[in-house]
């Protein structure tokens, strides 16, 4: 229950992180919409009644809502993305400049506006990581084995201190950090490891152990361990151009790693109990904040990748669902019917809410809040 007693130490970092990422996402929609001549009515951080705001010279209302758990950009004529425009709306647009209406833009322009939000999140991740790599440096440790844990999967496979890992399952390994990412995504299946031992190459097979760990909050979770440690931790500072290049690679690795993990959950090879909801993110935000500004920026980059990726899933109510409708429109030569879109959004909303409830339940179970409540009533 220590998390619940953490108070502002957890909530404030969470709100800062969420506000920045939501602003970046909505700014992507806003910027591309403006570039395509769409009139923006509202740019909101948060939902519900307005706490404060202002109207700029082009008529856009910039505001902060009382519930800081998201945000939105409302564009003139946007309603047709969900359903057919009402007669009143149509009449209003008829008397206005239609060039500023979202629904009167070409298909590729509407698709670009919708895709811009997730794209902005990926760009933010690259920029954030590039700043870290250019200032603090990127962890770039040679993939050399410093130590082997007794009784571990590595020990059983015959891996020895001083070995250099060249490849895993045919994938070349340049950094120890890449090795860690591969092991974390493993679900206890055998891995073929190519080693360099004293100038000679040899191949071994190791099956990482899936173990249960308990964090300082008393929550248990599963992790995969090979049982080796590195000799040291090296950091390499890159020039701006190289920093962007390596940040792009790291963003790609985060994206593909997330997709693999989701695929493993869908196939049943990874437990869905690893999903985290808002409560889990609040807790992680507080923990990361204790590590300083670099940890926070790195955490924001990871969350930004996940936010962009999730929004691209082809689920109605998400950006990916809108893009799916636009693909159908491109194929059919006309938009889907009002009823088809309405049912699609209902199903999509149900899926998103179900996933949110499930992830939040996982968070509550990890924090033992359910056990705590049961103890109060029994």
Q: Residue with structure tokens 């120890």?
A: 176
Radius of gyration of the chain (CA): 24
Q: Is 84 left (phi over 0), alpha (psi -120 to 50) or beta?
A: beta
Which contiguous run of DSSP H or E holds residue 157? helix 153-157
Per DSSP, what are the bridge partners of residue 172? 167
- Burial-class residue 124 by CB neighbours within 10 Å (0-12, 13-18, 19+): buried
3-state secondary structure of 36: coil
Give yes or no: 26 in active site. Answer: yes
Q: Phi first, then psi: what are they for 84, rounded to 5°?
A: -65, 145
Among 26, 78, 93, 287, the one annotated catalytic: 26
3-state secondary structure of 207: coil
Q: Residue with structure tokens 């938009």?
A: 335
Per DSSP, the residues of 94-137 read HTS-GGG-GGGS-HHHHHHHHHHHHHHHHHHHHHHHHHHHHHT-
Question: Is the sign of the CA dihedral 333, 337, 340, 346 positive or negative?
Answer: positive
Q: List CB contacts of 77: < 8 A, sequence separation 6 or more.
A: 38, 85, 89, 93, 98, 100, 101, 102, 103, 104
Cβ pair 98, 104 in contact under 8 A: yes
Q: Where are the alpha helices (DSSP H) in 170-225?
A: 176-185
N-to-C CA span, the chain = 18
Q: Residue with structure tokens 């404030």?
A: 12
- Residues carrying an active site annotation: 26
């Amino acid at each position: 229950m220590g998390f619940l007693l953490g108070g502002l130490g957890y909530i404030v970092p969470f709100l800062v992180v969420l506000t920045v990422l939501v602003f970046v996402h909505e700014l992507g929609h806003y910027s591309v919409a403006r570039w395509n001549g769409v009139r923006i009515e509202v740019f909101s951080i948060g939902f519900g009644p307005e706490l404060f705001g202002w109207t700029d010279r082009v008529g856009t209302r910039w505001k902060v809502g009382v519930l800081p758990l998201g945000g939105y950009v409302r564009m003139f004529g946007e309603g047709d993305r969900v359903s057919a425009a009402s007669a009143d709306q149509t009449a209003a647009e008829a008397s206005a400049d239609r060039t500023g209406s979202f629904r009167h833009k070409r298909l590729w322009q509407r698709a670009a506006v919708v895709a811009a939000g997730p794209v902005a999140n990926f760009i933010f991740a690259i920029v954030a990581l590039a700043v870290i790599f250019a200032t603090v440096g990127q962890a770039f440790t040679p993939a050399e084995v410093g130590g082997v844990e007794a009784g571990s999967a590595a020990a059983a496979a015959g891996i020895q201190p001083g070995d250099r890992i060249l490849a895993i399952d045919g994938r070349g390994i340049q950094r120890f950090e890449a090795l860690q990412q591969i092991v974390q995504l493993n679900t206890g299946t055998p891995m073929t490891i190519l080693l360099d031992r004293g100038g000679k190459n040899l191949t071994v097979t190791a099956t990482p152990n899936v173990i249960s760990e308990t964090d300082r909050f008393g929550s248990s979770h599963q992790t995969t361990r090979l049982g080796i440690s590195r000799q040291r931790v090296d950091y390499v500072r890159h020039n701006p151009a190289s920093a962007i290049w390596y940040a792009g690679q790291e963003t790609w690795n985060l994206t593909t790693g997330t997709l693999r993990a989701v695929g493993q959950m869908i196939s049943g090879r990874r437990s869905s109990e690893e999903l985290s909801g808002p409560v889990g993110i609040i807790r992680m935000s507080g923990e990361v904040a204790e590590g300083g500004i670099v940890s926070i920026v790195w955490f924001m980059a990871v969350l930004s990748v996940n936010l962009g990726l999730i929004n691209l899933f082809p689920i109605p109510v998400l950006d990916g669902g809108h893009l799916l409708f636009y693909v159908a429109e491109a194929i059919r030569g006309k938009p889907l019917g009002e009823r088809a879109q309405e049912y699609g959004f209902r199903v999509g909303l149900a899926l998103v809410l179900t996933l949110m409830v499930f992830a939040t339940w996982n968070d509550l179970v990890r924090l033992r809040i359910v056990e705590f409540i049961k103890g109060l009533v029994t």
